[in-house]
Structure 1
Amino acid sequence: MIGVDSVSGLILSGGRSSRMQPVPQWRAGDEESAVLDKGLLRLNGRPLVAFCKDNLTPWVGDIYISANRFADVYGAYGTVVPDDPVYGESQGPLVGIASVLALIRTPWLCVLPVDSPVVPPRMAPRLAEALQDGRHDIAYVMTDRTHPLCMLIHVACLPALRAYLLSGGRRVHGWLMSQRSLGVDFSNENDKVWNVNTPADLEDLRAYVEAAGGAPGQASQSASG
């Protein structure tokens, strides 16, 4: 079994949050800044990045944050790693993954987008279990649709990922299909992945959490119980 000491965690928060902009009332906790960062949006008094950390912490050792802004704030939740400039500026989530894969000391990296504060219970160990056959290097979540950035990936994938990015490739699903990747079925009705892309999504999540009587992780656990 892939143990905690073999897995690092990564929260992807390096994007521009363009679908949230410009919405001043959703500022990232810095009232002097008109720039919004999705991972710092607050839910029940805590930023989304905190809930993502909660989801990863039981299953990983070190936690890294892929972030290109607000490094001082994100530093409270993990080791902040900006995108490697060799890939260019604002080139997408695969660059964040490649930048962290180059630094970790563990063979595995569990990845979670910061805009997904609700994920299936025990996501990481269930992905790890699916990889026990030794025939795949990447496992990712599939519910009623594919969630390619909710993944467990082996560090051996870095050379291929680096080559793909340097060739101009950026599509996450396209790259996964070129690798020894495995989609893992999380289609049980309680296996939710909640993506927060717009202010309306955040309001819907607030309603979901309130109905479940707790934080996003508690809502997910409550549903699974």
Structure 2
Amino acid sequence: MLDKNKIAGIVLAGGKAARMNYCDKPLMPLLGKPLIEHVIALATPQVGELLISVNRNLQDYAYLDLPLIADSRRLYGGPLVGIYSAMRWLLKTNTAAERTHLACFAADVPRFPLNLVSTLAAAMVQPDCQVAVARTGTQLQPLFSLWSLTTFSILEAAIAENLCGPKLIFPRLDTVEVEFNDTGSENFMNINTPSQLSGMEQLLSADQAPAA
């Protein structure tokens, strides 16, 4: 199985957040700290290096002390451009020799399994496997996926065709879907609206409440 030190991670925080009135959603508070800090806390122990995909207010993310990667083809080009830009950065830095894969995490999903990356990596047993993607029931979770850096040129070609979502490129790759069952109701719940943010806070507060 892949060693975690061979894997870089990218937190995809470069969207416009249209359904949140175009606010900087990853910096919105959840249980007293920015949403993105919840994601970073879960992602960091799963990878050898963590990057942040962000397209605005970079100075507001500087305190995280992590590499900030802006979309290199076009700003707000969608998550596939964010993944591509992270790969491009890795391939151009000294870490390229150390990292062979890129794990993706969504910045608006504050809960996901701590064994997410190791489970995806374990599923990539075939040498030709290019990407592993999480699935919950019938729902694919494309922003929780593990990519071989050898897919860089394929992503580049897809972006040139104006494809913006990972789902659209999976059929072009040797892709394995990995089922995640019984991970808890809060896992993989994305936050797109103020009411969903409030609901997540209530759910997590209830989980943290001491037993009677």
Is the TM value for this pair above 0.5? yes
1:32 is matched with which residue?
Answer: none
Distance (Å, rounded) in 1 between the aligned partners of 2:114 and 2:5: 20
Residues 1:37 and 2:46 are matched in the alignment: no
Query: 1:157-203 CA deviation, whole Å, 9 max, x = no partner?
Result: 11000011012222321111221111100132537211011111101
1:26 is matched with which residue?
Answer: none
Matched to 1:120, the amino acid is: P
Distance (Å, rounded) in 2 between the aligned partners of 1:154 and 1:136: 8
Query: 1:101-121 CA deviation, whole Å, 9 max, x = no partner?
Result: 012121111110101111123
1:220 is matched with which residue?
Answer: none
Residues 1:175 and 2:169 are matched in the alignment: yes
Equivalent residues, number: 199
* Structure 1 pair 189–44 and aligned structure 2 pair: CA distance change class (3 A): closer
Distance (Å, rounded) in 2 between the aligned partners of 1:76 and 1:135: 39
Residues 1:196 and 2:191 are matched in the alignment: yes
Unaligned runs of 5+ in 1: 22-34, 215-225
From 42, 46, 50, give the equivalent of 1:55: 42
Contact 2:104 2:145 in 1 (8 A): yes
* Structure 1 pair 75–62 and aligned structure 2 pair: CA distance change class (3 A): farther
* Structure 1 pair 98–116 and aligned structure 2 pair: CA distance change class (3 A): same
Partner SS state of residue 63, structure 2: coil
1:114-133 maps to which residues of 2 (within 5 A)?
Answer: 114-133=107-126
**CA shift at 1:136, angstroms?**
1.2
Contact 2:7 2:102 in 1 (8 A): yes
Distance (Å, rounded) in 1 between the aligned partners of 2:75 and 2:43: 27
1:36-185 maps to which residues of 2 (within 5 A)?
Answer: 36-77=23-64, 78-84=66-72, 87-104=73-90, 105=96, 106-144=99-137, 145-185=139-179
Distance (Å, rounded) in 2 between the aligned partners of 1:121 and 1:5: 16
Partner SS state of residue 39, structure 1: helix
Distance (Å, rounded) in 1 between the aligned partners of 2:183 and 2:6: 30
**CA shift at 1:48, angstroms?**
1.1
TM-score, structure 1 as length reference? 0.84
Seq. identity, %: 27
TM-score, structure 2 as length reference? 0.89
Partner SS state of residue 102, structure 1: helix
Matched to 1:64, the amino acid is: L
Distance (Å, rounded) in 1 between the aligned partners of 2:148 and 2:75: 25
Unaligned runs of 5+ in 2: 91-95
Contact 2:113 2:183 in 1 (8 A): no
Query: 1:27-81 CA deviation, whole Å, 9 max, x = no partner?
Result: xxxxxxxx61111011111111111111111111221100011212222332101
Which ranges of 4 or more aligned residues in structure 1 deviate by more than 2 Å?
132-135, 187-192
Contact 2:55 2:75 in 1 (8 A): no
Matched to 1:118, the amino acid is: R
